[in-house]
Amino acid sequence: MGRYRGRFAPSPSGPLHFGSLVAAVGSYLDARSAGGEWLLRIEDVDKQRTQTGAAEAIRRTLDAFAFEWDGEVVVQSRRAPLYREALTRLRALDAVYPCACSRREIAARAPATAVDGGAVYPGTCRDGVTDGRPARAWRLRVPDREIGFDDRVQGEVRQNLARVVGDFVLLRADGPFAYQLAVVVDDAAQGINAVVRGVDLLDSTPRQIWLQRCLGLPTPSYAHLPVVTNDAGEKLSKQTRAAAVDPAAGSAALAAALRFLGHAVPSAVAAGSLADFWRWAIANWSMARVPARGGAVQGCPLPP
């Protein structure tokens, strides 16, 4: 695999909450325990979900918890030329096609529900846009066969893209490049060879692997960590009003995140300095201890 190069790539849709801290701790420790690099990327390609000032607040929070990233922070909204170049390559390969379908039309024609909660695209425009309608988006052709990989936490994962997603969007009708294209291009451009992130993104990984193959890009290893939920079983997020993590909690918050990831952190370490916590955590990190599923966290040092 070469020297480990991982990344943490939060979406600036709100402040860093405890679930995001868990993902940051897991990815950081996996990189540092392997003597590798840890890069920070702000995934703001979806401007509608981006909250003003959130990216800078995330950087400040990570810095306050003594995370140390390598190199410059990459910001997706500044990288559109790279995504456009990748789409041009796919067009030359006839791997993509224009689509005129609206979401309402797709839902009416496709009774099956996709893994991402939408409708499985029925391939309406695969052979050309009908009736001279203007194209709304660009879609990637997917094969009717399983795409599989071995996840370091979740085990073997297999997915038939044609049956559970359908041809998926790379350039959206409202203008922005889709997350799937941006993350694949950025991972390759940054030399990422190990991805550690939340299990809520597991279902998108086969799409990214297929896109990597279409573009002739390497596939990194993947580890999908359990996600933190609230008492109602909902993933912590801006939509579920997850509270911002408080940097003043220091090592106690980091220890709570590491305990969620299956590691028994001594109370002295949880009460100690940030430097002492990171020293102990890097020396004792093991992906083999991480559970496949998570849940709600009791007694977490967060503001109410």
Same domain for 218 and 174? no
pLDDT in the model for residue 304: 33
CA–CA separation, 181 vs 178, rounded Å?
6
Q: What is the 3-state secondary structure (H, E, C) of 3-18?
A: CCEEEECCCCCCCCEH
pLDDT in the model for residue 67: 98
Please indicate, yes or no, if residue 115 is contained in any of the structural domains: yes
Which amino acid would we find at residue 5? R
Please indicate, yes or no, if residue 204 is contained in any of the structural domains: yes
DSSP summary character for residue 119? B
pLDDT in the model for residue 131: 73
Same domain for 28 and 153? no
Same domain for 212 and 72? yes
If the chain, 304 residues long, is cut into consecutive pieces of 10 residues, what is the mean pLDDT of each piece?
Answer: 90 87 97 98 83 90 97 95 98 96 84 77 90 87 97 97 95 90 98 96 97 98 91 59 85 96 97 98 98 67 40
Total number of domains constituting the chain: 2
Give long-range contacts, CB 8 A cutoff, 24+ apart: 108-117.
110/166, 112/163, 114/164, 114/165, 114/166, 115/159, 115/164, 115/165, 115/203, 116/165, 116/203, 116/204
Residue 38 sits at φ, ψ, to 5 deg, of -130, 115
Contacts of 37 (CB under 8 A, 6+ apart): 3, 4, 5, 6, 31, 70, 71
Range of the domain at 176: 80-181
Kind and range of the H or E element at 146? strand 146-151
pLDDT in the model for residue 49: 73
Same domain for 67 and 216? yes
Please indicate, yes or no, if residue 304 is contained in any of the structural domains: no
Of 1, 11, 7, nearest to 26 by C-alpha is: 7
Same domain for 108 and 149? yes
pLDDT in the model for residue 108: 84
CA–CA separation, 251 vs 146, rounded Å?
43
CA distances from 271 to 84, 87, 204, 266, 284 (A): 49, 50, 38, 9, 17
Of 181, 198, 215, the domain-final residue: 181
pLDDT in the model for residue 102: 87
Same domain for 218 and 259? yes
